[in-house]
């Protein structure tokens, strides 16, 4: 799912996103350019340096369950494109 970043994803926002992703057994990945990181990785998420206006992709690996992505979207950091 393509989304647009609405707020910078650093510190508390990144921690909240990792906590939400960690509640689900599925692997949720975030893709930005050549980067592909697990949404459960705080270090990986910080390395992406997500800024408002950037477009990224959220994907659940090996599952059709999108509950994790849906809950991540409720954090207000991203909007669907």
- Would you say domain 2-80 falls under CATH 3.30.1340.10? yes
Domain boundaries, the chain: 2-80
- Does the structure show a pLDDT above 90 at 62? no
Q: What is the mean pLDDT of residues 13-34?
A: 97
pTM above 0.75?
Answer: yes
| 24 band by pLDDT with thresholds 50, 70 and 90 | very high
Provide CB contacts within 8 A for 4, sequence distance 6+: 53, 54, 55, 78, 79, 81
């Amino acid at each position: 799912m393509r989304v647009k970043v609405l707020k910078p994803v650093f510190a508390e926002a990144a921690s909240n996103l990792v906590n939400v992703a960690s509640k689900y057994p599925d692997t949720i990945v975030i893709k930005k350019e050549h980067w592909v990181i697990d949404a459960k990785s705080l270090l990986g998420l910080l390395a992406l340096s997500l800024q408002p206006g950037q477009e990224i992709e959220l994907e659940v690996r090996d599952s059709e369950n999108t509950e994790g992505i849906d809950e991540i979207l409720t954090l207000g950091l991203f909007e669907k494109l």
